[in-house]
Homo-oligomer: A and B are copies of this chain.
Amino acid sequence: MDIFENISPFDYRYYLRNNTVKKDISNYLSEKALIKFMLEVELTLVKALHQEGLCPKSAVTETSEAINKVKAEDVYLEEDRIKHNVRALVNCIRKHVSDKTMPYIHFAATSHDIICTAESLRYKLFTENVLIPKLKEFASTLIKLALREKKTVQIGRTHGQHAVPITFGFSLSEYISRFSKTIISIEESAKNLRGKMAGAVGAYNAQSLFVQNPVMFEKNMMEMLDLKPSDHSTQIIEPEYIQDYVYNVIKSFGILANLSDDMRQLQRSEIGEVAEVFGSAQVGSSTMPHKRNPIQFENVKSMWKQIMPRMTTLFLDQISEHQRDLTNSASSRFIPEIIAGYYISVTKLNGVLSRLVIDNENMIRNFEDGADRIIAEPLYIMLASQSHPDAHEYVRKLTLKSQKENRCLHELLMADESLKPYINKLSGEQLEILKDPKRYIGLSVKKTETICDHWIRELKLEV
A137 within 8 A of B: no
Interface size counted on chain A using CB atoms at 8 A: 194
Stretch binding the partner chain, chosen from A220-228, A331-339, A411-419: A331-339
Stretch binding the partner chain, chosen from A60-68, A127-135, A349-357, A389-397: A389-397
Within A156-190, which residues are at the interface with B (CB < 8 Å)? 156-166, 170-171, 173-174, 176-178, 181-182
Do B287 and A199 touch across chains, with their CB atoms under 8 A apart?
A: yes
Q: Out of B3, B73, B99, B108, name the residue touching A1 (CB < 8 Å).
A: B3
Within A316-350, which residues are at the interface with B (CB < 8 Å)? 316-331, 333-334, 336-337, 340
Separation of A216 and B100 alpha carbons in the complex (Å) = 71
Separation of A302 and B288 alpha carbons in the complex (Å) = 34
Do B288 and A200 touch across chains, with their CB atoms under 8 A apart?
A: yes
Q: Could you list 16 A-B pairs, sorted by A, with CB under 8 Å?
A: A12-B30, A86-B286, A103-B389, A108-B381, A110-B288, A159-B264, A160-B267, A161-B294, A170-B202, A205-B441, A206-B381, A290-B376, A298-B327, A302-B326, A303-B330, A309-B313
Q: Out of B25, B83, B430, name the residue touching A7 (CB < 8 Å).
A: B25
Separation of A281 and B397 alpha carbons in the complex (Å) = 9
Do B161 and A84 touch across chains, with their CB atoms under 8 A apart?
A: no
Residues of B within 8 A of A210 (CB): 381, 385
Within A379-433, which residues are at the interface with B (CB < 8 Å)? 380-382, 384-393, 395-396, 398-400, 409, 430, 433
Residues of B within 8 A of A444 (CB): 203
Do B204 and A290 touch across chains, with their CB atoms under 8 A apart?
A: no
Do A206 and B378 touch across chains, with their CB atoms under 8 A apart?
A: yes
Q: Out of B160, B393, B395, name the residue touching A321 (CB < 8 Å).
A: B160
Do B83 and A322 touch across chains, with their CB atoms under 8 A apart?
A: no
A295 within 8 A of B: yes
Do A293 and B107 touch across chains, with their CB atoms under 8 A apart?
A: no
Q: Out of B110, B200, B336, B430, name the residue touching A209 (CB < 8 Å).
A: B430
Cβ proximity bits A441-453 to B, threshold 8 Å, 1 near / 0 not: 1111001001100
Do B377 and A287 touch across chains, with their CB atoms under 8 A apart?
A: yes
Residues of B within 8 A of A111 (CB): 285-287
A203-B447 contact in complex given A6-B6, A7-B15, A209-B385, C-beta closer than 8 Å: yes
Q: Out of B103, B173, B267, B398, name the residue touching A385 (CB < 8 Å).
A: B103
A87 within 8 A of B: yes
A463 within 8 A of B: no
Do B313 and A9 touch across chains, with their CB atoms under 8 A apart?
A: no
Do B31 and A200 touch across chains, with their CB atoms under 8 A apart?
A: no
A289 within 8 A of B: yes
Residues of B within 8 A of A292 (CB): 161
A360 within 8 A of B: no
Taking CB as reference atom, which chain B residue is nearest A232? B177
6 nearest interchain CB pairs? A8-B8, A156-B201, A205-B442, A84-B283, A309-B312, A289-B396
A302-B328 contact in complex given A103-B387, A158-B322, A289-B395, C-beta closer than 8 Å: yes
Within A260-292, which residues are at the interface with B (CB < 8 Å)? 261-262, 264-265, 267-271, 279-292
A215 within 8 A of B: yes
Within A1-36, which residues are at the interface with B (CB < 8 Å)? 1-17, 25-26, 29-32, 35
Residues of B within 8 A of A261 (CB): 319, 321
A140 within 8 A of B: no
Given contacts A111-B285, A177-B231, A289-B380, 9 further A-B contacts (CB under 8 A): A8-B11, A13-B31, A87-B392, A107-B381, A159-B326, A161-B293, A171-B322, A174-B234, A309-B310
